[in-house]
Structure 1
Amino acid sequence: MPFKVSLLWGLPSAKVAYKEVVGLFQKQADEIYYVHIGDEIIEVTGEHPFWLDGKGWTFVKDLKVGDLLVSSDGSKLAIDKIEKESREATVYNFEVEDFNSYFVSNLGIWVHNCEVNGAGKLSPIMIELHTKLDDLAEKHLLPQFREIDPNLKSGYTGSFKTGTVGNPSKPTYGQPINMNKYDIDYFIESDILYEKFGNSLKANPVFRKILSEIPGFEGLKPNKEGFSIKFKPSSN
C-alpha cells in the first residue's frame, strides 16, 4: 500500500509537500556512518548526500563535525559527532513522486534521493543540477501547464537523470556525461495535456534561455536538442 512522506522541492525556502512513495530499493553496504545531532543519531551510507547550509549537497563521508544541516522548518542544526563502523548491512532507499529530496529522522533533516532504480551514485554536481532544475521548473515552467491540468506529474529521464551515458551503442556507455555537451529529456505526464499537445518533442525556448543563464547549465546543447518536453498520458 502506498504511503506518503514529507518532502522538499528545490531549495530550503521552496515548496514542502506530502508525496507518495512509488518505489523501494535495497542494497548491501559494508560501511555505516552514524551522524549525531543532539540526541538524534542517523544511520546512513557514506554516499548519501545531505544538504549543508552554505555548501549544498555533500556526501555523508565528506561531512565534518560542526557542519550545519538544514531541517524541514529551515533551521540549521550542527553535527555533534560522526562515527563510522565497518559492517555488512542491508540499506534502503526509495523513489518518490515528483521530488528528488526528502526529510529524515525526528529532526526532519534534508537529504537527497541519490539512487533511483539502482541507477548508480550521482555526483554532487548532478545532484546540484537536479535541485536547480526542479526549482526552476516549479517557478518558470510548470505554472502555465498547471493552469490546464493541476494534477500533472513531471520529471526527467535518460542520461541527465542518471548522470551517465545510457546508450549502449556509444563507446562512452556507462561513463559520466560530458558536462560541456548534454541534453535534458523532460516529461510532463497528463492525459489532458497529452491530448492537447500530442507526444512529439516540444521545444521551449523561453525556459531554455532561463536555464542557459544558470551556472551549471552552460553545457546544454542548443535549442530543442538541449531542452525539450515530451507530453505523455497518465500511467494510472
Structure 2
Amino acid sequence: MHYYLVHDGAGGPEGLLVEEFLLAVDHSCVGLVSAGWHRAQGRWSDASATSRRVRVEPTLWARVTPAGRAGAATLYRSLCGADLPGETTLRACFGVPCVPPSPPLLLHRPEATPGFRETRVYRILFVGALPPGGLAALGEEWRMPVTGDLGEPGVRVLGTVRRRVGRDAFRWELRRVAAGAAWGLDVTCDLAGGRDEAVGVLLRDLTTQVRQQGLIPVTVDRFR
C-alpha cells in the first residue's frame, strides 16, 4: 500500500490518503483503488476522486506528501488518538478502481535481446516535483551517474542504471516526459529463465524509491 499525508492550504495536517495499485499477471497496472480519512469527517471512505485529482492538479501535489505506514500511523494518532487501521480494514474502504489509460496493445511478441528468452519494457509514470537533492539521492541509491541537468529544459534522460539478477538483466532510465510535466522510469527486462518474479520485485522497489523522493506514481504500463 502507498500512504500519503494530506495537508491543508496553510500546510497543517488534514488527513490521510491510502492507495494500492491493481496489477495484471505481467506486473503492469490495471487500476488504482484508494481510501481517505479527513479530520473534519472523522471516518474512512472511498477516495477515488481524490486520487484522480492528485494526478492532474499541480496545486494538489504540493498538499500531498508520500509516506510510509509508520509515518501515516503517527499522523493518524496525533489527529484522532487512535491506531491506524490494519490493511485489511483499509481495503474494505476502497471504492471503484481508477483505471489508468490503456497502454499500447501488444499485438505481437517482439524479438528478445540476443541471449535471452524474453524482453519486456515498462514505464512507471510519476507526477510531482523532485525536491532539492532528490535526483542526487536517487543517483546515490541506484549508483547511477547523473548525466542530465535538471536546469536545462531540453534534457530528457537524467541517468541510466544496469543490473543483473541471476541470469536476468535489467536496465532503467529516469527521464522527463510530457514536455517536462511528468517523470518516466523506463525499465527494460531481459529474462533468461521461465519465471518473472524478479520483474515484480524490481518494479515495486523502484516505485517505492522514487516515492521516497516526493513523486507520485500514476501507473505502470507495459510497452512490449
TM-score range (shorter-chain normalised) is under 0.3
Taking CA–CA contacts closer than 8 Å with sequence separation of 6 or more, which of the two structures ends up with the larger relative contact order? Answer: 2
TM value normalised by structure 2? 0.28
Taking structure 1 as the reference length, the TM-score comes to 0.27
